[in-house]
Amino acid sequence: MERRTIGAAGLAVGAVGLGCMPMSWGYSASQRHGDRSVRTVHAALDAGVRLLDTADMYGPFTNELLVGRALKGRRSEAFLSTKCGLLVGDQHIVANGRPGYVRRACDASLRRLQTDVIDLYQLHRADPEVPVEETWGAMAELVTAGKVRSLGLCAVGAHAPRRSGAGPFAGTIRQLERIQQVFPVSAVQAELSVWAPEALEELLPWCAARGVGVLAAMPLGNGYLTGTLKPGQGFEPDDLRARHPRFTAEMMAANQPVVAGLRRIAERRGASVAQVALAWVLRQGPHVVPVPGAKRERWAVENAGAADVVLDDRDLAEIAGLPPARGSWD
């Protein structure tokens, strides 16, 4: 698989990564299966995927345990990316950016992942109670201690509330400018897909100008941009799509032209709809690595194959001409 470089630390990974979240979090629990997830990680590595993205809050904790189990004997083949800074409580998810907490969280992640170094350690969300420089400083000490190779920041989503008139990632860019003064940022993780292109406006150019890599989260639009979901099919109550405004029967039907447009290109190229959606993300810059989530081996292998699908100008123009997706959080 084509190699891409992650930011300041110059670490090489396969162009397509694997998001491990759906194996333990976010999507319906009835569909999860530990052994199948382990096989999925192995299939992805066999297909040339290197970057595995997890977080301590996925599960919580069980996703890191699963990834650690899957990497037994294969650690050297993977680029391990995890996150700290969000705690799952009974009712709410809260940020914790206190330095002492960050140090403990890293040690706990290392234990669960059964490794002595994390390749990319990301701050999941800044803690509004702690200056982000303090949190980032503690993370930088983990690099000095050899527990972590590089640091990343997860952006607050494009759909989060923002100051009127400000770009969708203006708050993230302010945070990035502050933490860059403390220690180099190697990667930013942000939602980026055909139906969520907002990061192209400011965030991607900001990263490209500074040699910062981009991990494109939710590059398949939570599965919608694969063409395998049917309007009105419904989702189990514990599936994030049961509350997502783009996954009501009405909006899933309204957004079908987006899938139809991707399908036309897929048929022309002999690729799948998901591969075209990922190939579009890959075309947004050599510093971008999509991390499609999958818990099935078949999907992981298919998604890895997107690295071989190269879209031309006509394909890109057709995607640019698709109607903007409908269904928003506002």
Ligand X SMILES: NC(=O)c1ccc[n+]([C@@H]2O[C@H](COP(=O)([O-])OP(=O)(O)OC[C@H]3O[C@@H](n4cnc5c(N)ncnc54)[C@H](OP(=O)(O)O)[C@@H]3O)[C@@H](O)[C@H]2O)c1
Where do contacts with ligand X occur on this chain (CB under 6 A)? 19-22, 26-27, 31, 53, 154, 189, 217-223, 226, 228, 274, 291-296, 299, 302-303
Minimal distance in Å, beta carbon 144 to ligand X?
A: 25
CB of 303 to ligand X, least distance (A): 5
DSSP per position, 210-272: TT-EEEEESTTGGGGGGT---TT----TTSGGGS-GGGSHHHHHHTHHHHHHHHHHHHHHT--
Closer residue to ligand X, CB minimum distance, 228 or 248: 228
The DSSP secondary-structure symbol of 196 reads B
- Pairing outcome for strands 11-14 and 18-19: unpaired
Q: Which among 58, 101, 121, 224 is annotated as catalytic?
A: 58
Pairing of strands 93-95, 86-88: antiparallel
By CB neighbour count within 10 A (0-12 exposed, 13-18 middle, 19+ buried), where does 28 fall?
middle
Residue number of the CB closest to ligand X reads 293
For residue 290, cis peptide bond before it (omega within 30 degrees of 0): no
Burial 30-52 (b: 16+ CB within 10 A, else e): eebeeeebbbbbbbbbebbbbbb
Nearest CB to ligand X, comparing residues 27 and 247:
27
Q: CA–CA separation, 251 vs 139, rounded Å?
A: 41
User: Least CB distance from residue 110 to ligand X, whole Å?
Assistant: 19
Residue the block writes with tokens 């009405």: 250
58 part of the active site: yes
- Do 285 and 214 contact (CB within 8 A), yes or no? yes
Instruction: State the minimum distance, in angstroms, from the CB of residue 242 to ligand X.
Output: 13
267 vs 314, which CB is nearer to ligand X?
Answer: 267
Rg (CA), the chain: 19
| Least distance from ligand X to the Cβ atom of residue 305, Å | 9
- Identity of the residue, 142 or 304, whose beta carbon is nearer to ligand X in the bound complex: 304
Amino acid letter, residue 276: V
Residue numbers annotated as active site: 58
